[in-house]
Amino acid sequence: MSGLKRGVFTLGLVFGVPLSYAQGVQVDGKLDELAWQSAADFLTFFQVVPATHTAHKNKVTAKVLATEEGIYIGIINYQPENQRKKQFNLQDGFMQGEFNRIYLDFSGDGSSAYLFATTLGGGKQDAVVTPQRTTDMDWDGDWESAFDEQPLYWSNEVFVPWHSVSFSSKVNADGFSTIGVGIQLYDLKSNNIFANQKQTIGNSDFFLNMPKIEVSVPQQSQLNFVPYVSYQRHFEPRQNKNHEADVGFDLFYKPAHHQTLSFSVNPDFAQVDSDDVDVNYSAVETLRTDKRPFFTQDISVFSIGALQDTKLIHTRRIGAGSDDKSELITPIDGAVRFVHQGKSAQWGAFAVKENSLDSGAGKDFYAGRFSYRSARWQSGILATHVERPWLKRNAQSVAWDSQYQDDKWSMQSALLFSQVDHETRQSGNGISLNVGYQFTPNTQLEGQFLRLNDGFENRDMGYMKRNDWQYSKLSYSHAVNVGNNWLTRIKHSLDLSYEANSRGLKLPARQGYKAQLMLNNGAQWSVHLDQVRSGWQDNIGANSAPFFQPSAFETRVLYQSPYTGEFSWAASVELDQEGLSGDALQLALDMTWMPHANWNIKFNNYFRDGDGWLVASQRNQLSEYDRTIFINTLEASALITENLEFSSTFQWSVLEAKSKDVYDIVADGLHRQTNTDTSFEDTRMMSQFKLRYRMGAYSDVYLVYRRGGEQLNMLDKTQVGHKSWLESVKDNWTKPIENSVIFKVRYLF
C-alpha cells in the first residue's frame, strides 16, 4: 500500500535522548527510511489481557518519530504468516483481524487523548478518549496509515498531523513538550493484548503511567474548509418534497494547536447512514450517536462524567425534529464554536441557530464550558441554554463536575441543576458520584450514586433515562490468570444495586453475578446469573401511576468462537422470569463469514418469546402480553478498490403481541379488566446500499439507496401471528415509507 511522502524536520528528546534531523518518510508500512533510525524505541511490551504483566521483547516493537508536520508511529508485530489474520473493516467498524491500538495524549496530562487503531488489512478506527477514560467513536480525524507484510512479521505505520487534533502543548524550559504514547497489539488467535505500559484504559492510572516522549512541537495555524453538496430523490410522495438538494459547509480555523474557531452553515446531518431499527416501547428514550464534524470536534472539552448516560449536551437534539412537528430534520442556519485549551485552564462555547421555518418553530442552542486541571485533579462548570419560541419555552442547565485519579483511586462527581420556563418555572437538581479503587490490576471495586429529583429536566438539549430517581450500585471484579493448556483467565464480576424515586418508593433493582472464561484458543464463555428485586414500577410510561412488580430471576450463557479463520460465531441462551408471572426464552446467534480479506458478511439474529411483557397501553392501563419478537440483520461490506468501499444493511423486525391480561393501575393495586384486548403487530424493515469513494479525510463521494417501511396493526388476539414473517417483510418492502437515492460530495480544502 502506498502513501504520501512527507518531509521530516524536528529535533526533540525521547527520555533525554536527542532525535536527529531526518528527511523523506513515506507512509507505506515498511519503516525502511533512514529517519526511523533516530526514532524513539519501545522494545519491551507487557501482557495486559490477561493482566499477567509478563514482559516480552519478541511480540511487538514500536518507534515514534516527531516531525514538523506531526507524529509517525511505526509498529512491528512478530506474528508469523500462518498465525495471523488479515481482514478489512469499514471506518469505526468491528475489527476482526490483527490490529494495533495507539493512544496519544498530546497534552501529556490526561486531559484527553486520541485513539487510532488499524488492522492488518487496512481497517481503521479513531476516537476521542475523555478525562473519564470513556471512548467516543463519533470523532473522525485526518490521519494516515498503511501496513506491510513479511513472512515472520507485519508492520503498521501511522501518521497523525499536528493540525488534526486540538491540545495544549506543555513546553518545558528547554522548549520541548511531553506527549503520552500508549501502543497495543491485539493478538486475535488468543484474545491477548500486549502493550508498552502495564495499564489498559480500564485502569485508573492509565493516563498517569503512559510512556512519555519529549518532542519539539512547532507553532502552526491551520484553516480547513469542508463544503458539501447533496441531492436526494424520493420515489414515494412527500408533500412536494420529492427532490431535495442541500448545500452547506464547515470551516475550522486553528490559530494555534490549543485554539479552534469553528463555523458551520447548514451542517451536514450525516444522514447518509440510516439509524438501526428501534423497537422501543419503554419510557426510556434510545440514545443515538452523532457523526457531524462540527459537533464531534473538541468533544472532550464539553464532557462531564455523569452516570447512566446523563448528558447536558446531546447534540442529536440540535437540528432534529421541529417543535411544530412539520420537519423530521430541522435545517441549521449557522453554528459557531470556540475552544481554548491552556496549560491548566480550558474553556469553550458554541451557539447554534436552527432555521425558524414558516411557523417560527426553530430553536436556538447555547453552551459554555470552563475547567481547570492539575496533575491528578480537574474541576469545571458546563452551562447550557435553549430557546424554543414556538413552544414559548426556555431551558437552562448547569453542571459543576470534578475528577480525581491516582494509581489506586479514581473519582468523578457532578452537581447538576436545571430550570425550565414554560407557562410556569420548574427547577431541579441532581448529583452523580462514581468512586473506584484498584486493589491490583486484576481486582477492582467501584461505587456509583446518581440522584435526580422530580424537577430536574435536561431533555431540551441533553439526555437522561429518567428523573425522580435515586440509583446506587456497588461493583466488584476479580480476574484469576490461570494460564494452563486450555484456560487463560477467569473473571468474576458482582453487581449490587438499589433504586428508589425521590419520595423513597423502592424500585426494582438488579443484582448480578457474571463469570467470564477466556480460553487458550481465543474462544470465550460467559455465564450471567441475575435477580431483579421486587419493587414499585413507576416508569412504565404514559404518565401512569406506580404498581408493584415481583422479583424475577434471569440466567444467560454466551459463547464466542475464536475470531480466526473465515467463519466466526457467537450464540447465547437466556431463560428469564418476566412481568407479573411470566417466563421468557431469549436466543441470539451472530455469524460472520469472511470469504476474502476485503469482504465481510454478518448475519445477526435475535429472538425472544415470553408471556409477561408489560406495556402501558394508555395512562394507568397496564397490558401484559404473550409476545414474540424477532430481529434479523444482514450486513455486507467490501473494499472494492483501494479507495472504493461498498456496504449494505438489511434489517427487519417482527413483534407479535397477544393480550394476556389488561389491568387498571389504581391506588390499591392492579385490577384486572375483562373483555379488553390490546393485541397488536409491529413490523419494520430498513435497508441501505452504499458506495463510498474516499478521497481523503473529510473528502468523500457517496451514492446511497435506502428503502424501508413499518406497519403497526391493532388486531384481535386470534389474528395476531396469522401472517408469516416473510410476508410481513414483503409488505414493508412493497409498501415503503422510505424509498430514496442520495448522492453526496464533501471535500476538505
How confident is the model over 325-360, as pLDDT tens digits? 988 888 899 999 999 998 899 999 999 999 999 899
HEC-encoded secondary structure of 94-107: CCCCCEEEEEEECC
- Is residue 347 one of the residues assigned to a domain? yes
Whether pLDDT at 17 is above 80? no
- pLDDT for 271 equals 56
Query: Residue 270 pLDDT more than 60?
Result: no
Residue 368, CA atoms < 13 Å, CB-side half-sphere: 5
Beta pairing class for 552-560 and 524-533: antiparallel
Q: What is the pLDDT of residue 538?
A: 96
Within-domain flag for 387: yes
Q: Return the beta strands (E) in 17-108 as ranges.
A: 17-18, 25-26, 40-42, 45-49, 55-56, 60-66, 70-77, 99-105
> Cα–chain-centroid distance for residue 653?
23
Same domain? 210 vs 328? no
Closest to 64 (Cα-Cα) out of 112, 22, 109: 22
State yes or no: pLDDT of 149 exceeds 90: yes
- Please tell me whether residues 202 and 308 are part of one structural domain: no
Domain end marker among 189, 220, 251 = 220
Element spanning 702, H or E: strand 699-714
Confidence of residue 84 (pLDDT cuts 50, 70, 90): very high
Identify the band that residue 21 occupies on the pLDDT scale cut at 50, 70 and 90. Answer: very low
**Co-location of 215 and 303 in the same domain:** no
Q: State the pLDDT confidence band at 15, using cuts at 50, 70 and 90.
A: very low
Per-residue pLDDT tens over the stretch 470-479? 999 999 999 9
730 φ/ψ angles, rounded to the nearest 5 degrees: -60, -40
Q: Is residue 264 part of a domain?
A: no
Distance (Å, rounded) from C-alpha 297 to C-alpha 336? 12
Give the E-state strand segments of 82-176 in sequence order: 99-105, 113-119, 124-129, 135-136, 144-149, 154-161
Please indicate, yes or no, whether residues 452 and 304 belong to a single structural domain of this protein: yes
Q: Beta strands 524-533 and 409-422: pairing type?
A: unpaired
Region 691-710: mean pLDDT is: 93
The pLDDT of residue 20 is above 80: no
User: In this structure, is residue 289 part of a structural domain?
Assistant: no
Q: Ranked by mean pLDDT, which of 16-30, 236-250, 600-614 comes out on top? A: 600-614
**Nine cell digits for residue 21:** 534531523
Q: Which pLDDT score, from 0 to 100, does residue 12 have?
A: 34
Are 204 and 340 contained in the same domain? no
d(CA 45, CA 194): 6
Per-residue pLDDT of 728-738, as tens digits, reads: 889 999 999 99
* 170 plus 312 within the same structural domain: no
What's the mean pLDDT in 459-463?
97
Distance, CA of 534 to CA of 550 (rounded, Å): 4
The span from the CA of 267 to the CA of 246, in Å, is 10
pLDDT of residue 8: 34
Tell me the β-bridge partners of 524.
518, 560
Residue 508 has pLDDT above 60, yes or no: yes
> DSSP string of 673-685?
-SS----EEEEEE
Position 147 in a domain: yes
Rg of the Cα trace of the chain? 27
Rounded to an integer, the average pLDDT of 119-127 is 94
Q: Do 199 and 309 fall within a single domain?
A: no
- Residue 173: pLDDT band (50, 70, 90) is confident
Nearest Cα to Cα of residue 68 among 151, 162, 175, 203: 162
Q: How far apart are CA 653 and CA 681, in angstroms?
A: 11
Q: Give the domain range for residue 396.
A: 298-467
Residue carrying C-alpha cell 493540525:
163
Shared domain for 312 and 213, answered yes or no, is: no
pLDDT band at 3 (very low <50, low <70, confident <90, very high): very low
Q: Is the pLDDT of residue 99 over 50?
A: yes
Taking residues 232-241, report their average pLDDT.
81
pLDDT value, residue 536: 97
Q: In which band, very low, low, confident or very high, does the pLDDT at 169 lie, cut at 50, 70 and 90?
A: confident
Regarding whether 168 and 20 lie in a shared domain, the answer is yes
Quick one: 216 and 320 in the same domain?
no
* Per-residue pLDDT at 46: 97
Would residue 255 count as lying in a domain?
A: no
| 34 falls within a domain | yes
| DSSP per-residue string spanning 470-521 | EEEEEEEEEEEE--SSSEEEEEEEEEEEEEE-TT--EE-EEEEEEEEEEETT
Q: What pLDDT is stored for residue 239 in this prediction?
A: 67
3-state secondary structure of 128: strand
Residue 536 lies in a domain: no
User: Is the pLDDT assigned to residue 240 strictly greater than 70?
Assistant: no
Retrieve residue 175's grid coordinates: 522548549
pLDDT surpasses 90 at 166: no
Residue that is last in its domain, among 177, 193, 220? 220
Coil, strand or helix at 391: helix
Q: Are 317 and 190 in a shared domain?
A: no
CB environment 712-746: b (16+ within 10 A), e (fewer): eeebebeebbebebeebbeebbeebebbbebebbb
Residues in the chain: 749
**In contact, 593 and 636? CB cutoff 8 Å:** no
Task: Quickly state the pLDDT bin for 514 (edges 50, 70, 90).
Answer: very high
- Cα–Cα distance for residue pair 573/436, rounded to 1 Å: 32
DSSP H or E stretch at residue 371: strand 364-373
In Å, how far are 20, 133, 371, 375, 649 from 379, measured between CA atoms?
39, 16, 5, 12, 43
| Top-confidence residue, 347 or 112 | 347
pLDDT of residue 269: 57
Q: Which range among 113-117, 138-142, 264-268, 449-453 shows the weakest confidence by mean pLDDT?
A: 264-268
Mean pLDDT across the chain, nearest whole number?
92
Give the pLDDT score at 10.
32
Number of domains comprising the chain: 2
Digit-coded pLDDT (tens) for 275-306: 788 899 999 999 988 888 888 888 788 989 89
Q: Mean pLDDT across the stretch 502-516?
A: 96
**Residue written as cell 483501494?**
642
- Compute the distance between CA of residue 276 and CA of residue 684 in angstroms, rounded to an integer: 11
Structure-model confidence comparison of residues 75 and 2, the more confident one: 75
**Confidence class of residue 177 from pLDDT cuts 50, 70 and 90?**
very high
CATH code for the domain in which residue 162 is found: 2.60.40.1190
Confidence of residue 1 (pLDDT cuts 50, 70, 90): very low
pLDDT score, position 23: 53
CA distance 499 to 510: 9
192 and 323 together in one domain: no
Of 172, 198, 220, the residue at which a domain comes to its end is 220
